[in-house]
Amino acid sequence: MAKILGLQKSIIYGPVGSRRLGRSLGINLSPTGYKVCSFNCIYCHYGWSKHLETDLSGYATDLPAVDAVVEALENALRDLDPPPEYITFSGNGEPTLHPQFPEIVDAVIQVKQRTGTDAKLAILSNSTAVTDKRVRDALSKLDVRIMKLDAGSEEVFDRISRPAPGVTFDAVVEGLKELDDITLQSAFVGGELTNTSDEDVEAWLKVVQEIKPTSMQIYSLENAPAMPTLVGIPMERLREIRDRVKQVLDIEVEAY
């Protein structure tokens, strides 16, 4: 049986073969010894969040400093041949929760310029910090913004994503509507808990239309989930959901 994945143990990891981004060099802005996140997603392949938080100021000693990120990235790029296709903010938790996320984005852009790498900058985000204008401004500087939304209502949002106190479905949706040119990513799961009923999908689809992403990624379980009683959704159902999106939005939608 597949096991929960271990946490990334460093600031830089990979390159990994990403089904979303090809050869991707990861940047982990979260602690390496435990999981802290603003979500406690039932399907997370890193398991349950030990600390469910939106404010990481109290974890500063376990977060990488801007200079440490710069040094680690420069060292990694110096040793890589061929270079990565993408440099991606992801890792053990939500990267935008780092109190200096905007400063780190600027510093990584400067590293790219100094090293002459052609790698694009991307992020895999759970979208909880899009209510913060500083975060939205930093996200706008990236080449690819893959933003998560797995629900079309507060009830399903709480069921699947299990957010930290203070994180609301409506606020996340409003923040996403403020971002331009995003890829919206949605996970669908079955088993003990699910977000794939016709009612759930239609509510989600309505919200997707409001957000107006430029592309979408729809997927199910790839690794062992935090909640072991979950099961993956058959590709046939994922394609049905994909086709529903394409009926109302003229955008690229991947199902995998």
Reported as type and span, the H/E element at residue 57 is none
- The per-residue pLDDT for 1 is 43
pLDDT of 19 strictly over 90: no
Percent of the chain with pLDDT over 70: 98
- The per-residue pLDDT for 239 is 97
Contact 18, 86 (CB under 8 A): yes
Instruction: Identify the CATH number of the domain defined by range 12-255.
Output: 3.20.20.70
- The per-residue pLDDT for 79 is 85
How far, in Å, CA of 183 to CA of 25, rounded? 19
Domains of the chain: which residue ranges? 12-255
Relative to beta strand 230-232, strand 215-219 is: unpaired
User: pTM for the whole thing?
Assistant: 0.95
Q: How many CA atoms lie within 13 A of 196 on its CB side?
A: 25
pLDDT tens, position by position, 61-113: 999 999 999 999 999 999 888 889 999 999 999 999 999 999 999 999 999 99
Q: What is the mean pLDDT of the chain?
A: 95
pLDDT tens, position by position, 198-229: 999 999 999 999 999 999 999 999 899 999 99
Residue 7 tokens, joined: 């946490």
